[in-house]
Structure 1
């Protein structure tokens, strides 16, 4: 693996407060028709990274609004992802900063949302809220870059961009990886396997034949999350995040497209290694 050349980033403890943007005020009914509409491609890899950041920021702000509204008696214990107070930088500006200075790929951006479900499934103390979102995003994007990309930056670089000490980023990464049992490649059965592993204490090394033969296993996870995000927060009014006045929708011609190579690859694997169809597996948790 190679590492990307470091971009000069001034280390700061408060993370680029000057990059913050003011929220756009809510619109009246007379202005509803003036909101532009953008039709996004079905494949998240073809989507503009700026639009992806806006969509993900809307999704995260939507979740944060719900979780921050929970009664104090229902709040959970502190985790390593907690800040003492909510950072001054908005979710959008923080994620845009990470994307710009660490050259985050679309797969890494979508995976950061997937990792919320993955971590929450095995770590009940973790909740995405205004105190945890920044450290979680930094951890998720740095881990995702290393797991999904051919090249990535050093932790020293990621820590500078994210506004934390490098030693703290090491701790956050280790915490995340151990909680999800190093299952950082998006797969349909990751959450189920991680739950079983937590309950039984045994690592799952193989996938049951009936799961392996399921169409698009592992290939459609990120596109599924991408479509769901657009469905939930594509409307400008659907999230507290008002960074950009625009409605997003998915291209209707390809709402359920799947990579053609999936079935071909599976057929090739089964015909060249018939034993795969009968390989034993341990059933374990998410």
Structure 2
């Protein structure tokens, strides 16, 4: 994981994660017209004009959280969509889910982090909304914030593969999870130290 911690590689991680999220959101935009989905506090009235990549780059620039936070935020997004199948990531909620997952990750991972008011400014929302999103996200996760080293390594591996293979046509059908119908990664039992249940790729 040392390569993910270096400043030179971190922008590639940001680019890979944003590419993954963009693909999932666009796929689920189509699926939302075919499947029943709930409207949550993460949904905007319209899709933001800023792209997922520019938004994530903005968070990276101003949040000053450790590179590991973005991997853990990715884990949280995956867990959230696994636990909330009626709330898949789409273009209406991806930005709010992203800023919230990084906020929660930074609080859990880093010794020093900015407060909710600061993250709200970075994310372009009000502090009251940021507070509400954080609470809703935590409940959506079931407060399952711990990430084992094995799980962290697994998600790093998928992002590293995303760095090497950026073409959606070349990627496997299930590259990771983050919602339906397109999934980004088949979750495994992170409490199983023997890892008998392997990832489906």
TM-score, length-scaled by structure 2: 0.77
Show the 5 A alignment for 1:123-272.
Answer: 123-186=84-147, 218-232=148-162, 234-238=164-168
2:6 paired with 1:57: no
User: Which residue of structure 1 lines up, in the alignment, with residue 195 of structure 2?
Assistant: none
Return the structure number with greater strand share: 1
Task: Give the Cα separation in 2 of the matches to 1:43 and 1:233.
Answer: 12
**CA offsets per residue over residues 185-233 of structure 1, 9 Å max, x none?**
21xxxxxxxxxxxxxxxxxxxxxxxxxxxxxxx1121221111123246
CA distance in 2, matches of 1:71, 1:93: 24
Question: Separation in 1 of the partners of 2:139 and 2:45?
Answer: 24
Q: 1:163: how far off?
A: 0.3
**Structure ID, larger Rg:** 1
Q: Structure 1, unaligned stretches of length 5 or more? A: 1-40, 187-217, 240-286
RMSD: 2.0
Rounded to whole Å, the distance in 1 between the matches of 2:137 and 2:72 is: 14
| Equivalence for 1:44 | 4
Q: Which runs of 5+ in 2 are unaligned?
A: 170-201
Aligned residues: 169
Provide the residue aligned with 1:70 in structure 2: 31
The SS at the match of 2:39 is: coil
